Chain A
């Protein structure tokens, strides 16, 4: 089975005043049709940058190399018009903070309908009708009236529903959800996740779900990519990840998640801090914090090895 969306050897460098920051290093990631792929990592691990880079949404001081294959085209080489068509109808993205991700100066109706009118050449009336229908689908009460409101008249959870509606309205094949529930209350969080799940089947979506919450991963995802310091370190099916995590970082994350949810008495954490992503990296990025490190880890960068369903970048499993 070939992947629906495939990113090969993606590296993203930011030119900053204090030198070049390597936000993503040589990352490979693929999304298969109909699946929910979780991308997990702590803040600064490059998961959001990777997604933005794939859609060419990064600011101008970022350099993205590699290739992003979607329906036999490399997105990174597309011109403005073509990438806009992809963003509009094929790969939609929703963002972490629904409070600031909607334009506060424009009515919801305009923000929902503008892509339909501009990119898909649908007339205003039909577009508005579709917008109201989709708002009902994401369970905004009294949608026909409220579509004419401004974003600040909605609560955080409602705004995230509007973001989701805005994405679905374009009938995309891929939905990239960047921590869609991080800024929301726990109860609202559950509603949004349930909504995503039901919509996924109805709209035949393939979803990339970025999160740092292991419980969301367990509830939502089919497959998981663990990222550390700008690189995927483990890729596995949900079961293998939770029952047989291989990379020491994954093991540490799971131990920490378990202790946080009250399954153990002690609060477990991974000692140390993630590295600063500048300069040349020789060995494994996790080496300074790893409890199972070998001498080779400091010298050689590990590569992805493993089975069809579980791979990890770790010297422990190389022969």
Chain B
């Protein structure tokens, strides 16, 4: 198991290298640079800055410097947020994004799979149709539409939740962003687990379980739940990554100091080191999550577990 884990980590190195390579050159292809302000700087200052950050050297030399720094775990200083290193900014923003993302995911997993499983068990009932209709809405309404609607209803009309701001992570400030992030995930997970449950309920081993006279609730929870959740689990890896990295828009709307906001600001300001730092960080994070999902899969499915042990 441990050997498998490390082998997968080694395999991720080329992927991360390609991420660094592509994003490094892409951001430099974008017009403008980090020190283009409304008011042009004096040429000497501009030249000084460029020399300090190696921007006057050929791009491949810059890439060499960057790789060297990254290998030492140094993402460099931010071009925009003076006195901050990129590492510091990530350390500040990421925990906020993670808290939001994981809460949203936990909520989605709980509500989504419960709704999906019940809908499958009562297939073609009113409850089933209701869940499917609502989840269709949840999937098709984008979060930049959902967020203003929620703000309108809960912050302005009923005014019992703040419209935005972080307020050092106060509970009522978290509710709307978490719900906004969770809604589409609830919908997806409900659909996945419903389809999966329907398939599992038709399988011969469930018929065997019923033929043994076991109570229905027991069969659903002990016999059907694990295989039903397998596709949900494999969806979870990319979904958690997506919800944490993709909270860019939601963080912007609610004014939350998460990593997504730095990402957007960094890209707009051509803050090369900040964008690069966040991209590399996200890349590693997504790879790790997928690895965790694979390990979870092994834990759920005994057959995969054994194969992993053999290799």
Give residues in A with beta carbon < 8 Å to B. Answer: 52, 55, 57, 59-60, 80, 83-89, 92-93, 95, 97, 100-106, 114-115, 118-119, 150, 152-153, 163, 166, 170
Contacts and interface: CB of A to CB of B under 8 A. Distances in A.
A150 B207 contact: no
User: Chain A CB within 10 Å — which of B208, B211, B218 has the most?
Assistant: B211
B23 to A, nearest CB: 41
A105 B212 contact: no
B310 to A, nearest CB: 13
A104 B303 contact: yes
A152 B303 contact: yes
Nearest to A112: B212
Given A57-B207, A103-B205, A105-B302, A80 B216 contact: yes
Interface string B281-311: 0000000000000000000111100100000
B27 to A, nearest CB: 47
B212 to A, nearest CB: 5
Contact of B210 (A57, A150, A152, A170): A57
Interface stretch (B73-81, B110-118, B220-228, B252-260): B220-228
A86 B213 CA distance: 7
Nearest to A84: B213
Contacts of A59: 202
A87 to B, nearest CB: 3
A166 B212 contact: yes
Given A105-B301, A106-B222, A150-B302, A88 B213 contact: yes
Given A105-B301, A150-B303, A152-B302, A100 B213 contact: no
Interface residues of B, number: 26
A101 to B, nearest CB: 5
A95 B207 contact: yes
B208 A103 contact: yes
Given A104-B302, A104-B303, A105-B300, A89 B213 contact: yes
Contacts of A101: 204-205, 207-208
A64 to B, nearest CB: 15
Given A95-B207, A150-B303, A103 B223 contact: yes
Given A150-B302, A152-B303, A95 B208 contact: yes
A291 B301 CA distance: 55
Given A88-B212, A100-B203, A102-B208, 5 more contacts: A57-B207, A95-B211, A101-B207, A103-B205, A105-B227
Contacts of A60: 123
Contact of B204 (A84, A100, A114): A100
User: Chain A CB within 10 Å — which of B204, B227, B301, B306 has the most?
Assistant: B204
Contacts of A57: 207, 210-211
Contact of B214 (A102, A115, A153): A115
B215 interface: yes
Contacts of B209: 103
Contacts of A166: 212
Given A84-B213, A118-B214, A106 B208 contact: no
User: Chain A CB within 10 Å — which of B204, B206, B212 has the most?
Assistant: B212
Contacts of B213: 83-89, 115, 119
A146 B46 CA distance: 75
B214 to A, nearest CB: 6
User: Chain A CB within 10 Å — which of B207, B218, B227 has the most?
Assistant: B207
B204 A97 contact: yes
Closest 10 CB pairs of A and B: A88-B213, A87-B213, A84-B213, A103-B205, A100-B204, A150-B302, A105-B226, A93-B211, A101-B204, A101-B208
